[in-house]
Chain A
Amino acid sequence: MIIELGHYALVLALATCLVISVLPVIGARRGDAALMAVATTGTYALFGLVAFSFGVLTWGYVVSDFSVQNVYENSHSMKPMIYKISGVWGNHEGSMMLWVLILTLFSAMVAFFGTNLPDRLKANVLSVQAWITTAFTLFILLTSNPFVRLSPVPAEGQDLNPVLQDIGLAIHPPLLYLGYVGFSVCFSFAIAALIDGRIDAAWARWVRPWTLTAWTFLTAGISMGSYWAYYELGWGGWWFWDPVENASFMPWLAGTALLHSALVMEKRDALKIWTVLLAIIAFSLSLLGTFLVRSGVLTSVHAFATDPTRGIFILCILIIFIGGALTLFALRAPTLKAGGLFQPISREGALVLNNLILTVSAATVLIGTLYPLLLETLTDEKISVGPPFFNLTFGFLMAPLLLAVPFGPMLAWKRGDLLAALQRLYLAAGLALVAGLVLFYAENGGPVLAVVGLAMAFFLIFGALADLWFRAGFGKQTASIAWSRLKGLPRSAFGTSLAHMGLGITVLGIVAVTTFETETVVEMKPGMTAEAGGFVLTFDGMRAGQGPNYTEDRGHFTIRKAGVAVADVWSSKRLYTARRMPTTEAGIVTFGLSQLYVSLGDPMADGGLVVRIWWKPWILCIWLGTVVMMAGGVVSLSDRRLRVGVPKRRAKVVAPVPGQVAEAAE
Chain B
Amino acid sequence: MKAWFQKIAPHPAAATFSPQAGRRANPLTPAIPSPRLRGEGQGEGQRRLALQRIFLLLVLLFAPIHAFAVNPDEVLADPALEHRARTLSSELRCMVCQNQSIDDSNAELARDLRLVVRERLVNGDSDEQVLDYVVSRYGEFVLLKPRLSAKTLILWGAPAALALVALIVAVFYARRRANDRDPAEKLSAEEEARLGRLMDGD
Interface residues of A (CB under 8 A from B): 69, 72-74, 91, 148, 150-152, 154-156, 158, 161-163, 233-235, 237, 240, 242-243, 299-301, 304, 306-307, 338, 341, 344, 352, 356-357, 359-360, 363-364, 367-368, 371, 375, 379, 381-389, 392-393, 396-397, 521-523, 573, 577-584, 599, 601-602, 604, 610, 612
A581 touches B7 (CB 8 A): yes
A307 touches B13 (CB 8 A): yes
Q: What residues of B have a CB within 8 angstroms of the CB of A388 in the complex?
A: 90-91, 144-145
Given A363-B158, A381-B140, A393-B156; 5 other pairs, CB 8 A cutoff: A154-B34, A161-B9, A163-B8, A386-B145, A584-B1
A389 touches B145 (CB 8 A): yes
B72 touches A523 (CB 8 A): yes
Q: What residues of B have a CB within 8 angstroms of the CB of A163 in the complex?
A: 7-8
Q: What residues of A have a CB within 8 angstroms of the CB of B140 in the complex?
A: 381-384
B35 touches A379 (CB 8 A): no
B29 touches A154 (CB 8 A): yes
Q: What residues of B have a CB within 8 angstroms of the CB of A604 in the complex?
A: 73
Q: What residues of A have a CB within 8 angstroms of the CB of B4 in the complex?
A: 300-301
Nearest CB of B to A511, in Å: 18
Contact of A360 among B15, B27, B159 (CB under 8 A): B159
Interface residues of B (CB under 8 A from A): 1-2, 4, 6-16, 25-29, 31-35, 38, 63, 65-73, 75, 90-91, 93, 98-99, 101, 104, 139-146, 151-152, 154-156, 158-159, 162-163, 166-167, 170, 174, 177-178, 181
Contact of A299 among B75, B98, B181 (CB under 8 A): B98
A384 touches B141 (CB 8 A): yes
Known: A306-B11, A384-B141, A582-B6. A396 touches B104 (CB 8 A): no
A521 touches B68 (CB 8 A): yes
A386 touches B104 (CB 8 A): no
Please report the C-alpha to C-alpha distance between residue A638 and residue B73 in the assembled complex, in whole angstroms. Answer: 57
A154 touches B35 (CB 8 A): yes
Nearest CB of A to B22, in Å: 8
Known: A158-B16, A385-B146. A375 touches B151 (CB 8 A): yes
B1 touches A385 (CB 8 A): no
Nearest CB of A to B151, in Å: 6
Please report the C-alpha to C-alpha distance between residue A371 and residue B149 in the assembled complex, in whole angstroms. Answer: 14
Contact of B13 among A73, A299, A375 (CB under 8 A): A73
A397 touches B69 (CB 8 A): no
Residue with the highest number of chain A CB atoms closer than 10 Å, among B6, B9, B33, B75: B9
B11 touches A304 (CB 8 A): yes
B104 touches A237 (CB 8 A): yes
Residue of B nearest to A389 (CB): B145
B68 touches A382 (CB 8 A): no
Nearest CB of A to B177, in Å: 6
A364 touches B162 (CB 8 A): yes
B8 touches A235 (CB 8 A): no
B155 touches A301 (CB 8 A): no
Q: What residues of B have a CB within 8 angstroms of the CB of A381 in the complex?
A: 140, 151
B29 touches A156 (CB 8 A): yes
Q: What residues of A have a CB within 8 angstroms of the CB of B28 in the complex?
A: 156, 577-578
A72 touches B16 (CB 8 A): yes
Q: What residues of B have a CB within 8 angstroms of the CB of A151 in the complex?
A: 35
Q: What residues of B have a CB within 8 angstroms of the CB of A583 in the complex?
A: 7
Nearest CB of A to B41, in Å: 12
Contact of A601 among B12, B29, B67, B162 (CB under 8 A): B67
A612 touches B145 (CB 8 A): no
Nearest CB of A to B75, in Å: 7
Known: A386-B93, A389-B145. A599 touches B9 (CB 8 A): no
Nearest CB of B to A520, in Å: 10
Q: What residues of A have a CB within 8 angstroms of the CB of B93 in the complex?
A: 384, 386
Contact of B144 among A72, A150, A389, A584 (CB under 8 A): A389
Residue of B nearest to A243 (CB): B99
B2 touches A234 (CB 8 A): yes
Known: A154-B29, A367-B155, A389-B145. A599 touches B1 (CB 8 A): yes
B63 touches A582 (CB 8 A): yes
A384 touches B166 (CB 8 A): no
Known: A386-B144, A389-B145, A581-B7. A69 touches B35 (CB 8 A): yes
Please report the C-alpha to C-alpha distance between residue A389 and residue B27 in the assembled complex, in whole angstroms. Answer: 43
Could you name 8 residue pairs across A and B whose Cβ atoms are closer than 8 Å? A233-B7, A242-B99, A304-B11, A352-B170, A360-B162, A367-B154, A601-B71, A602-B67
Q: What residues of B have a CB within 8 angstroms of the CB of A392 in the complex?
A: 145
Contact of B163 among A356, A384, A389, A573 (CB under 8 A): A356
Nearest CB of B to A414, in Å: 13
Nearest CB of A to B29, in Å: 5
A379 touches B71 (CB 8 A): no
B139 touches A162 (CB 8 A): no
Known: A352-B170, A360-B159. A581 touches B9 (CB 8 A): yes
Q: What residues of B have a CB within 8 angstroms of the CB of A396 in the complex?
A: 159
A522 touches B12 (CB 8 A): no
A235 touches B2 (CB 8 A): yes
Nearest CB of B to A624, in Å: 25
B155 touches A397 (CB 8 A): no
B104 touches A610 (CB 8 A): no
Please report the C-alpha to C-alpha distance between residue A8 and residue B36 in the assembled complex, in whole angstroms. Answer: 23
